[in-house]
A and B are shown apart, each in its own frame.
Chain A
Amino acid sequence: MLDKNGIAKRIAQEVQDGFYVNLGIGIPTLVANYVRDDIELEFQSENGILGMGPFPREEDVDADLINAGKQTITALPSASFFDSALSFGMIRGQHVDLTILGAMEVAQNGNIANWKIPGKMVKGMGGAMDLVGSAKNIIVAMMHTNKAGDSKLLKTCSLPLTGVECVTKIVTNLAVLDIVDKKFRLLERAPGVSVEAIQQATEGDLIVEGDIPEMKL
Chain B
Amino acid sequence: MINKTVNNVTEALEGIHDGMTFMLGGFGLSGIPENCIQELVKRNVKDVTCISNNAGVDDFGLGLLLKKKQIKKMISSYVGENAEFERQMLSGELEVDLIPQGTLAERCRAAQNGIPAFYTPAGYGTEVAEGKEVRDFDGKPHIMEEAFKADFAFVKAWKGDEAGNLIFKGTARNFNPLMCGAAKVTVVEVEQLVKPGELDPNFIHIPGIFVQRIFQGEKYEKRIEQRTTQS
In the bound complex, CA of A164 to CA of B53 (Å): 24
A99 within 8 A of B: no
Look across to chain B and name the residue whose beta carbon is closest to the beta carbon of A164: B125
| A119-127, A171-179, A192-200, A203-211 - interface stretch | A119-127
A72 touches B230 (CB 8 A): no
Look across to chain B and name the residue whose beta carbon is closest to the beta carbon of A119: B90
A56 within 8 A of B: yes
Is chain A's interface secondary structure helix, strand, loop, or mixed overall? loop
- Give residues of chain A (100-155) contacting chain B, Cβ–Cβ below 8 Å: 111, 119, 122-130, 133-134
Name the contact of A57 in the complex, choosing from B29, B108, B229 (C-beta under 8 A). Answer: B229
Q: How large is the interface on A (under 10, 10 to 19, 20 to 34, 35 or more residues)?
A: 35 or more
Do A71 and B228 form a contact, CB below 8 Å, given A64-B31, A164-B125? Answer: yes
In the bound complex, CA of A181 to CA of B105 (Å): 35
Residues of B within 8 A of A164 (CB): 124-126
B108 touches A46 (CB 8 A): no
A63 touches B101 (CB 8 A): no
Do A75 and B170 form a contact, CB below 8 Å, given A46-B101, A48-B27? Answer: yes
Do A133 and B172 form a contact, CB below 8 Å, given A46-B101, A84-B53? Answer: no
B78 touches A124 (CB 8 A): yes
- Give residues of chain B (119-161) contacting chain A, Cβ–Cβ below 8 Å: 120-128, 158
A55 touches B120 (CB 8 A): no
Residues of A within 8 A of B101 (CB): 46, 84, 88, 125-127, 130
Name the contact of B224 in the complex, choosing from A61, A83, A87 (C-beta under 8 A). Answer: A61
Which B residues contact A (CB, under 8 angstroms)?
27-31, 53, 76-81, 86, 89-90, 96, 98-106, 108-109, 120-128, 158, 168-178, 205, 222-230
| Shortest distance from the beta carbon of B16 to any chain A beta carbon, whole Å | 25
| Shortest distance from the beta carbon of A155 to any chain B beta carbon, whole Å | 17
Name the contact of B226 in the complex, choosing from A45, A66, A81, A160 (C-beta under 8 A). Answer: A66
Residues of B within 8 A of A162 (CB): 126
In the bound complex, CA of A91 to CA of B77 (Å): 16
Q: Identify the 8 closest CB pairs spanning chains A and B, nearest first.
A: A88-B102, A130-B102, A123-B80, A164-B125, A84-B105, A64-B170, A63-B222, A129-B100
Sampled A-B contacts (27; CB under 8 Å): A45-B171, A46-B101, A48-B173, A49-B170, A58-B229, A63-B29, A63-B222, A64-B158, A64-B169, A67-B171, A70-B29, A72-B226, A81-B171, A83-B105, A83-B174, A83-B205, A84-B27, A84-B53, A84-B104, A88-B102, A88-B106, A111-B125, A129-B100, A130-B122, A133-B120, A161-B126, A163-B124
Q: Which of B31, B101, B124, B229 has the most CB of A within 10 A?
A: B101
In the bound complex, CA of A72 to CA of B81 (Å): 16
The contact string, 1 if C-beta is below 8 Å from chain B, for chain A 48-84, is 1100001111100111111111111101000001111
Look across to chain B and name the residue whose beta carbon is closest to the beta carbon of A58: B229
Residues of A within 8 A of B81 (CB): 70
| Shortest distance from the beta carbon of A1 to any chain B beta carbon, whole Å | 26
Q: Which of A64, A84, A85, A122 has the most CB of B within 10 A?
A: A84
Look across to chain B and name the residue whose beta carbon is closest to the beta carbon of A92: B102
A85 touches B30 (CB 8 A): no
Residues of B within 8 A of A83 (CB): 105, 168, 173-178, 205
Residues of A within 8 A of B106 (CB): 85, 88
